[in-house]
Structure 1
Amino acid sequence: MNFESVKYVNIKGRLWNPKNQVQFYEDGSFFVAEHNGFAIPSDEVPETFNEHFDRYLKLRSMHGEISLAGIPIRQYEALKSNYKINWTEICWLYYYDGTGYEGLTSEYTFESKAYTLDVLRKSDISKVFEHYTYKDDGIGYIESIIENQPTQCARYKGLPVSWVVQREDGSLGIMYTLESHRRKGLGEWLSKHLIHQVIQKGEMPYLHIVVGNAASVALVERLGFKKYGKIVWFGVQNPYYKTGGVTD
């Protein structure tokens, strides 16, 4: 399997993390990587993509829905014409191929307000989850990220007011700044630190931005990220689902 293309960064990010257990289904040059409840199919043979994916669905007949994570939009369009799609989130895939940032400071001052660089801690779990978009993931997901993943946090008078993390799949995300501390450059400051940290680990920083989020697009493009294209997170209703499986 050749993971050199940016389109496989979603898989590479999961493989880079030694705490992840990624499993593969292979069918010739076609494969599906499975991790954390999501499937990520390859795109090596688009002309037979539906045929390969259909065989994969039959093997997963115990699952009523297959959730797919960050796959190229052309795969989504191919599957949409053949299967019922239960939910969809379309994002831009951005990647960073620069050298990182040097001379970063551990303190940041804006209009007399002094911020200190830190990592997220267990005591911050509830605050981060309070402002987390995907509540269905559960607070345990945030706890796992804070305990196991690289994080960057700006503290004001000891309290977390802005943060960004590297998720378990290698993507940068969960960025948030409290309303009273926005438009001060905190997100950019923290992102530079995290980008540099990820590069020092030998990984390529990348992220997903929901289409229509103009503010986040402007930020990452200022940071030097390049747009790869649209990717999609979605759920496919498995037509072969039966309690107890299917018999061919």
Structure 2
Amino acid sequence: MGSRLAEGWDANAGAWIEWSRRGLDSYSTHKLAFLPLIPSPGRLTVDVGAGEGRVSRELQARGHRVLAIDRSPTMTRSAATYPGQPVPAVVADAVHLPLPDAAADCAVAFMCLHDIDDVVPAIAEIGRILAPGGKLVLAIVHPLNSAGDFDRDAPQLPYVIRDAYTQPRHYATTRTRDGLSMTYHGIHRPLHTYTEALADAGLVIERLREHSSDDPDDKWYRIPLFMHIVASRPRQP
């Protein structure tokens, strides 16, 4: 399996830990729309692509029995040693989750599937560990967001998609705030890549929501930033 994206994120793990813990990303507002989609605590909630553990900590505080999983040893160690609120965390690839079939009644994949090279087998693997009635709650960069950008050289900032929306392509975006730089590594994919993978994994989409800025003066009020999906494994008849 390829590891191009994993290597990019692991190389930036230290910067990401500081970036996220300073609150320099969108999580503080994004979570207000995402967290209510997660079901009540059950037997086990698996946080796939948990990074430094921000979502895992939120869920643990809400009564979930959480297992955080990430491919990066640096990220995983950071989640497991967070001062005052460590979470159980293991190093593993999303396409080889260290759990038996039907072990979890909830899986969370917050802003990570577009950072995984082998997303189709990763979604299949998440489907494998979900028990009947279990739910996957995921957030991704909206495919319209990753497909194009605003043309800053033109009046009214038109949104331009220069390459084919349907063709996957890697990207790296560097952002600088408060004296810290962070490089995001991801891959643009059309929406049907995710929806077909969910269907092939035996999961049924229950909700699909698009998340944009709430500020009418923000350019991202016009184009959705993120997509949230809730999918479930049907119970046996």
TM-score between both structures, scaled by the size of structure 2: 0.29
More strand by share: 1
Bigger relative contact order, structure 1 or 2 (CA pairs below 8 A, ≥6 apart): 1
Larger radius of gyration between Structure 1 and Structure 2: 1
TM-score between both structures, scaled by the size of structure 1: 0.28
